[in-house]
Amino acid sequence: MIGWIMLSRRAVASAEAALKNEQLGVRDEIGFLSLHQAFSDRFFPGTSVLHTRMRYALFVPWLMEAALGNPQQLRKLELALTWQLNLGADKGNGVIGGSIPNRLPVQPASMIYWTALSRWHILHPRPDGVVSSRGEVLNKIASMAKATAGRHRTDDGESLEDEAHAVFASVPTAPPLFLKSGEAMDFNLTALERTFLRKHLIGVCRGTGSQSQQSLLARIADSRLSVKSVAVPWAGLVKDVADREDKVALTIAKQAAALAGVGRAAYAALVESAKAKDGGERTTRHRDDLAKMISDQGTEAIKLDLPALNVMTPGLPGYLLDVLTETQKWLASGPQRVDSLQDVYRTAEVRRKGARARLANNLGGQNRRAEWSADEHPLAEPLHFRWGNVRRLLNDLETP
């Protein structure tokens, strides 16, 4: 007997997003990603872990204007661009949706780069200063396209082409092969495109209003620093171009990344230990990894000034601060069984995940642990603050 199941578009989107998170290694049972988010947004405003290549910041305005504000046409054109990029030398190298070229991914480039377009001042805000949604921009482009059909000048004699581009900054003209069927496209920026994007990145600030300062992303772009071989954002080359406040923030971020890495390893070790006590598989993969993480990151983790962290990243959940505090004390007190951290980690996970918590001291928690696989759960890593993605974007700005 064969059964047919009809899935809603929302259910498919949810499943694909969950799969995407698994592929990206996004597992945040305790809440460490709030640290990742806070520092990433400070250092690299507008960026995302889903960003792949810099030229998408131009592809999106070109696509939306080519679609004349029609959402269905935009979907078709985004698919067409994916095919073009897959024909080029960059196939598999940052092509969004490249592995599924026959349908648009749940999060196409025009969604993924929307915040970047705003923070990098490529997308103009509304008159009230609020960022327009994609739908609002498409509607505006459609209205302008309709109003300017067959005309070249406004009643005041101004160019209608300039008026039609008003939702975006004056981006460089799309290359001739853009959206040409059967022609390859790539992510190589022209000199004009590099100049345009660098100019916009240099203006990206952290903070708002009178408290705004040039961001670390802007300073790297402004200095034309090559970061191709820079492994971490707190490396000396990067710190050299940071301002005084960000130099301090980078040190705290480095120590927070280390403590979060130890915390991630401790969580996995606690689940592994609890599963063994339940009578499940007896593995030591994550407990061994915790020992390695302590050896690699423990010294930096102990240095973290938690009150300074709390001031620099206000709004962190209380349960996360408890986890960070107790983990740091546990490290500083010398070798102890990881089980001594179980209560504070259990409390944090239950607060975040409720009935889905693996460390919960009930039948539900035991069932979740039974489903958990030590081999499939990724080994812990320190936080990276999107540096891999940011470095790739900055690499694209470099002159070939």
Tens digits of residue pLDDT in 297-343: 999 999 999 999 999 999 999 999 999 999 999 999 987 899 999 99
pLDDT computed for residue 209 by the predictor: 67
* Domain shared by 39 and 149, yes or no: no
* Domain shared by 40 and 92, yes or no: no
Parent domain of 260: 29-44+243-384
Residue 174, beta-bridge partner list: none
* Domain shared by 266 and 378, yes or no: yes
Tokens coding 42: 């400070």
* Domain shared by 35 and 55, yes or no: no
Question: Does 208 reside within a domain?
Answer: no
State the pairing for strand pair 205-206/213-214: antiparallel
Question: Does 389 reside within a domain?
Answer: no
* Domain shared by 101 and 158, yes or no: yes
Q: Inform me whether the pLDDT recorded for 1 exceeds 80.
A: no
Q: Inform me whether the pLDDT recorded for 279 exceeds 90.
A: yes
- Which residue has better confidence, 72 or 148? 72
CA–CA distance, 273 with 281 (Å, rounded to integer): 10
CA–CA distance, 351 with 368 (Å, rounded to integer): 16
Whether the pTM exceeds 0.95: the reply is no
How confident is the model over 92-116, as pLDDT tens digits? Answer: 799 999 888 788 888 999 999 999 9
Question: Does 397 reside within a domain?
Answer: no
- Indicate the pLDDT class of residue 399, thresholds 50, 70 and 90: confident
- Indicate the pLDDT class of residue 6, thresholds 50, 70 and 90: very low
Question: Does 108 reside within a domain?
Answer: yes
Question: Does 222 reside within a domain?
Answer: no
- Contact between 172 and 193 (Cβ < 8 Å): yes
* Domain shared by 33 and 61, yes or no: no
CA angle 75, 89, 191 (to 5 degrees): 85
* Domain shared by 39 and 93, yes or no: no
- Indicate the pLDDT class of residue 369, thresholds 50, 70 and 90: very high
The residues near 371 (Cβ < 8 Å, ≥ 6 apart) are none
pLDDT computed for residue 366 by the predictor: 96
Question: Does 215 reside within a domain?
Answer: no
Question: Does 394 reside within a domain?
Answer: no
CA–CA distance, 186 with 9 (Å, rounded to integer): 31
* Domain shared by 33 and 85, yes or no: no
Domain closes at, from 147, 172, 197: 172
Q: How long, in residues, is the chain?
A: 400
CA angle 168, 171, 174 (to 5 degrees): 120
Share the mean pLDDT of the chain: 89
Question: What Å distances lie between residue 72 and 16, 22, 126, 132, 355, CA to CA?
Answer: 21, 29, 24, 19, 40
- Contact between 305 and 294 (Cβ < 8 Å): no
Q: Tokens 């302590």 label which residue?
A: 294
How confident is the model over 124-138, as pLDDT tens digits? Answer: 998 888 999 999 999
Tokens coding 162: 């300039």
pLDDT computed for residue 24 by the predictor: 40
- Indicate the pLDDT class of residue 23, thresholds 50, 70 and 90: very low
Question: What Å distances lie between residue 21 and 14, 28, 238, 260, CA to CA?
Answer: 11, 10, 29, 19
Tokens coding 60: 């999106």
* Domain shared by 259 and 366, yes or no: yes
Tokens coding 350: 């239950």
Instruction: Classify residue 233 by burial, with Cβ atoms within 10 Å: 0-12, 13-18, 19+.
Output: buried
Q: What is the mean pLDDT of residues 263-285?
A: 96
Domain closes at, from 149, 172, 195: 172
Domain closes at, from 172, 199, 226: 172
Torsional sign, CA 218, 219, 220, 225: positive
- Count each helix (H run) and each strand (E run) in the chain, helices first: 18, 2
- Indicate the pLDDT class of residue 21, thresholds 50, 70 and 90: very low
How confident is the model over 140-154, as pLDDT tens digits? Answer: 999 888 877 755 444
Percent of the chain with pLDDT over 70: 89
- Indicate the pLDDT class of residue 161, thresholds 50, 70 and 90: very low
Amino acid code (one letter) for 92: G
* Domain shared by 34 and 78, yes or no: no
Greatest Cα pair distance in the chain:
81
* Domain shared by 154 and 36, yes or no: no
Question: Does 302 reside within a domain?
Answer: yes
- How many domains is the chain partitioned into structurally? 2
* Domain shared by 287 and 368, yes or no: yes
pLDDT computed for residue 222 by the predictor: 97
Residue 205, beta-bridge partner list: 214
Q: Inform me whether the pLDDT recorded for 155 exceeds 90.
A: no
